[in-house]
Amino acid sequence: MSPGQDPGLEPGVIDELMAVARDAATAAAGLIRAATGDQDDRPAVASTKSSPTDVVTAMDRAIERHLREHLAKVRPQDGVLGEEEDGLRAGSSGLTWVLDPIDGTVNYLYRIPVYSVSVAVVAGDPRVPGAWTPVAGCVVSVETGETWTAGLGRGSAVDGRPLSIRTDPDGPRELSQALVATGFGYRAERRAEQARVFAALAPVIRDIRRIGSASLDLCMVAAGQVDLYYERGVNVWDMAAAALVVIEAGGVVTGLAGRPLGERTVLAGEPGLCARLAEALVAAGADDFAEDREAARGG
Ligand code: IPD
Ligand code: CA
């Protein structure tokens, strides 16, 4: 099962799941806002994960706990996978909630007001690239309250306004006219290679945006605030809800060079323009990192 594939759910069921996702993400964002609104201090780092700059705050953990408790009450039959707690809690329905309590934790840490709560429900196994499809999702930008929603076959919207990816009547724009969002991983070795790819891409695009939240990057693609997005190493919880927002707006979210979503690099945008970016990324070596060669050698 891959993104956009039909898991055979009735439209009414998808609408209910959209409502659950929206209510859960909105309530969680409200909790974060209420707790951080008038604090001048930066939130504290509770611990680190893949590198010293990959941080977790007490808020990440508290919000994930809150979301899990809420979903256990309203959807006890479904599984849950979240960023901050290890492993998948299996369910019996074939559906799994995929949670990022704060996407853009470093922005949150520095009080840059660009971070989100992302809540998606997927069919299939969200741990395996290409084995899941998002069914419903909601991304709430915590500090602005902007709310993106999507349901499979039900369209996507921001604050209730339907979204539709901009397509140019005369065919896809040149890359030189495209504003491209991207992100960088937390590990230095990967980041050095990402910088190498970016150096090759920079001269052929309009400009770059490093927003700091993959889910918001994708939502901005759906809303036409950037034209394209690509990034290596994005986790399923960063993208599951927002990928559906893009797909339902008429865009594509895909792996590079025919790879499934979640393996190596993700790219998103209007289909024709996305194809141009894919070509440029492959030419820039985005599908050939030292970590890939090591993995192929079994390292
Ligand atoms: C990160 C953000 C960032 C992206 C990283 C993600 P987190 O998520 O989405 O923009 O570049 O790849 O890991 O750690 O803030 O949830
Ligand atoms: Ca996070």
Residue 226: the pLDDT is 97
Residue 36: the pLDDT is 86
Ligand positioned closest to the Cα atom of 186: 1
Ligand positioned closest to the Cα atom of 115: 1
Structure tokens at 128: 């395996």
Distance 65 CA to ligand 1 centre (A): 19
Q: What is the pLDDT of residues 201-247, one digit of tens each?
A: 999 999 999 999 999 999 999 999 999 999 999 999 999 999 999 99
The rounded mean pLDDT for the chain is 93
Pocket test of ligand 1: the residue of 56, 209, 213, 266 to mutate, having most ligand atoms within 8 Å of its CB, is 213
Q: What is the pLDDT of residues 259-289, one digit of tens each?
A: 999 999 999 999 999 999 999 999 999 998 8
* More confident position, 3 or 56: 56
Distance 191 CA to ligand 1 centre (A): 13
- Contact in structure between 270 and 251 (CB atoms under 8 Å): yes
Ligand positioned closest to the Cα atom of 54: 1
Question: Which phi and psi (to 5°) does residue 173 adopt?
Answer: -60, 160
Most confident of 171-180, 240-249, 283-292: 240-249
- CA 215 to ligand 1: nearest atom: 9
Q: What is the pLDDT of residues 20-60, one digit of tens each?
A: 999 999 999 999 999 886 666 777 777 877 778 777 888 99
- CA 55 to ligand 1: nearest atom: 14
